[in-house]
Chain A
Amino acid sequence: MQSTRKIRVLIAKPGLDSHDRGAKVVARALRDAGMEVIYTGLRQTPEQIAETALQEDVDVIGLSILSGAHKALFPRIMELLKQKGLTDVMVFAGGIIPEEDIPEMKKLGIKGIFGPGTPTETIIQFTLENVPKRT
């Protein structure tokens, strides 16, 4: 029987900044596109994000950060996901992430980076195309 499980997405806000307008709009757009969306709320530590991802059994994580601390926080988040065995979860990120940092972020395993002004449709399509297949 074909599974009817919806795609489960965690939208997470690491870092101290409180710019959650984008995160919330993306959360709502993915939900309206038929996905199950969990939003962590602000100022989550890498440990909290990895733990929530595990508990909620998500397929996708969207990290939103506008504080500039992505270089300090993203490596830690990716490391913790690995430790918890969540290597098949697809991670994308959004916010203010300078062009020159993108190769480094991608090397960490972050699949897509979306800057300010990205249409929500682009993120929805990206998620649908890159969501890992459940076995």
Chain B
Amino acid sequence: MFDDEKINEIKRERERWEKTTLPKWIRQCPECKSEFRNHSGMLIKRVYTPEDIKALDYLRDLGFPGEYPFLRGVHATMYRGRLWTMRMFAGYGTAEQTNKRFKYLLKEGETGLSTAFDYPTIMGYDSDHSMAKGEVGICGVAISSLKDMEILFDGIPLDQVTTSMTINGPAPMLLAMYVAVGDRQCVPREKIGGTTQNDNLKEFFAQKLCIFPPKSSVKLTTDIIEYCARHLPRWNPVSISGYHIREAGATALQELAFTIYDGIAYVESTIERGLKVDDFAHRLSFFFASHNDFFEEIAKFRAARRLWAKIMKERFHTKNPRSMWMRMHVQTSGCTLTAPQPLNNITRTTIQALAAVLGGTQSLHTNSFDEALCLPTEEAVRVALRTQQVIAHESGVTNTVDPLAGSYYVEALTNEMEEKAMEYIQKIDDMGGAIAAIEKGFFQKEIADSAYRYQMEIDEKKRIIVGLNEYTIEEEECPIKLLRIDPKTEKEQVIRLQKVKRERDNRKVKEVLEKLHYTAEKDENLMPTVIEAVKVYVTLGEITEVLREVYGEYKELIVI
């Protein structure tokens, strides 16, 4: 963007500045650290100039929004045309309680649903399983059968809202139940829109809610990608997730690189299935965290878009520009919230949400200030949603597309993120791919090391967390009201489940479970049979049990 002569002049001037002006200031007001680094460990310069982006070619490296390499955004008009989807992750107790929370959030102006399931559901256990004891409805909503799902979406027309479901191992079952609810509402399947997280790879090293071994897990992910490509054109079959990688302790750079690599693995597994890349790649979606370091996060989101576009074009030879789009959902980072002085979390969340918006996200969840202590109360979740609305309607940042483009610092950091992520991708390629890297414990070790380093920095006060290791106060008691889950939830849920099991056609249940067993053994796509099963009220636990028999269970590789 700059000619050599100009760059040389800037260089000369910078050197002069460093010899004349700078030393005086440093003498008077020494810098507070000997070096400044972001979370990814990148050395941050005192000041950035055109020298730092001298190789940047505007048309090649930035381009225009809505065009390759999509650095400036996947849409040409971005938020001038349409705001991001305000999608608050919600779920607790019974389906009735979460249905009420969904309706409350929609009334308060959220524009998409996002479902949090409880741990038994996530692990494929019905609410009456011995492993579910004490966990039913605690960290999310309990869904064991289609009956629960019907209640969850009661009075919510599925052709008018899109729904994201944070579910991985049992994603086929939950998607099947959603489709069944849509069928019952007479919504044509081509109008059903939403997302299943369905990113099983990251489970093995980040979220760790794995049920089946890696190969079978990827098979299930691919089943949904294939099924959606053929039958659910508006569904995002997978949300390739960096969020959990980050929350487990990874740096921004590791989050970026490992997430992109998981994306590569799913594209490969689906091509192996016999699909053409442009049959499905346009529906792949991504999910990132937005942590504390403002510019590092913005650079990560921007780099992610350009890197994915390049990979889709150069590695997978896609022809359709939409297959090169990285559409993303962002959640502000849960692990940055502090239990002491919980109201400070509103400020943290605001900064993180702003980074996501300046980074060009399509969808956003903002955490509630009480989430280091409990699931959010109605008041806390409203403040979190209002935070997005304030950014959207009051701050003015939506008036232009990608407002930070051209910043010497942001562009230099974006380039560095991309280059270093490519180095990781090369390394994982050399290791033999994502599953090989999981089996070697590579991702696990990288993340555990970063998590430990981060904690040590906090313990040693090299990193200040306001209200936690600095600016602390004596809090006699918790200053905010906390949400408690009604202890009757588990009992009510088990009673409903038993009633469903009594009243359904148990002969049909047996038949379809046998068919499922056969389909799984034959390695066919499970989706049609799973839909058939949930419609006759076969439970989530019963389906998972059959798959556990066929695929076996994953045994955790422990890496400290």
Complex partner residue of B135 from A28, A45, A68, CB under 8 angstroms: A68
A125, CB-defined interface residue at 8 Å: no
Known contacts A24-B448, A41-B556, A42-B556; decide if A99 and B468 are in contact (CB<8 Å).
no
A115, CB-defined interface residue at 8 Å: yes
Interface size on A, residues (CB 8 A): 33
A43 to B555: give the CA distance in the assembly, Å: 11
A18 to B120: give the CA distance in the assembly, Å: 12
A51, CB-defined interface residue at 8 Å: no
Complex partner residue of B138 from A37, A45, A67, CB under 8 angstroms: A67
A73, CB-defined interface residue at 8 Å: yes
Known contacts A28-B452, A68-B139; decide if A73 and B134 are in contact (CB<8 Å).
yes
Interface range, B side = 35 or more
A117, B451: Cβ atoms closer than 8 Å: no
For B134, B135, B477, B560, which residue has the most chain A Cβ atoms within 10 angstroms? B134
The closest CB in chain B to the CB of A119 belongs to B459
B135, A69: Cβ atoms closer than 8 Å: yes
**Distance to closest chain B CB from A28 (angstroms):** 5
Give residues 443-478 of B contacting A (CB, 8 Å).
448, 451-452, 455-456, 458-459, 465, 468-469, 477-478
The closest CB in chain B to the CB of A37 belongs to B560
**Distance to closest chain A CB from B272 (angstroms):** 29
Known contacts A18-B208, A25-B455, A117-B338; decide if A39 and B556 are in contact (CB<8 Å).
no
Dominant SS at the A interface? loop
Q: Which residues in A have their C-beta under 8 angstroms from that of B373?
A: 96, 98
A21, B135: Cβ atoms closer than 8 Å: no
For B138, B340, B465, which residue has the most chain A Cβ atoms within 10 angstroms? B138
A117, B340: Cβ atoms closer than 8 Å: yes
B286, CB-defined interface residue at 8 Å: no
Complex partner residue of B485 from A17, A43, A68, CB under 8 angstroms: A68
A62, CB-defined interface residue at 8 Å: no
A24, B133: Cβ atoms closer than 8 Å: no
A90, CB-defined interface residue at 8 Å: no
Complex partner residue of B560 from A24, A43, A68, A121, CB under 8 angstroms: A24
**Distance to closest chain A CB from B548 (angstroms):** 14
Give residues 96-117 of A contacting B (CB, 8 Å).
96, 98-99, 115-117
A67 to B340: give the CA distance in the assembly, Å: 20
Q: Which residues in B have their C-beta under 8 angstroms from that of A25?
A: 249, 451-452, 455
Complex partner residue of B134 from A21, A29, A43, A69, CB under 8 angstroms: A69
Q: Which residues in B have their C-beta under 8 angstroms from that of A67?
A: 119, 135, 138-139
Complex partner residue of A16 from B131, B207, B458, B459, CB under 8 angstroms: B131
The closest CB in chain A to the CB of B482 belongs to A98
**Distance to closest chain A CB from B213 (angstroms):** 15
A28, B560: Cβ atoms closer than 8 Å: yes
B78, CB-defined interface residue at 8 Å: no
Known contacts A24-B448, A72-B134; decide if A119 and B139 are in contact (CB<8 Å).
no
Q: Which residues in B have their C-beta under 8 angstroms from that of A27?
A: 560
User: Which residues on B are within 8 Å of A, measured CB to CB?
Assistant: 119-120, 122-123, 125, 131-135, 138-139, 207-209, 247-249, 335, 338-340, 372-374, 448, 451-452, 455-456, 458-459, 465, 468-469, 477-478, 482, 484-485, 556, 558, 560
For this complex, 21 residue pairs linking A to B, each with C-beta atoms less than 8 Å apart, are A16-B132, A24-B560, A25-B451, A25-B455, A27-B560, A28-B560, A29-B455, A41-B558, A67-B138, A68-B134, A68-B485, A69-B134, A71-B134, A72-B133, A73-B133, A96-B374, A115-B339, A117-B340, A117-B465, A119-B469, A120-B456
Apart from A15-B119, A67-B135, A117-B372, list 14 A-B contacts with CB within 8 A.
Answer: A18-B207, A21-B247, A21-B335, A24-B452, A29-B455, A41-B558, A67-B119, A68-B138, A68-B139, A69-B119, A73-B134, A115-B339, A117-B468, A120-B455
The 3 A-B pairs at the shortest CB distance, nearest first, are namely A72-B134, A16-B119, A69-B134
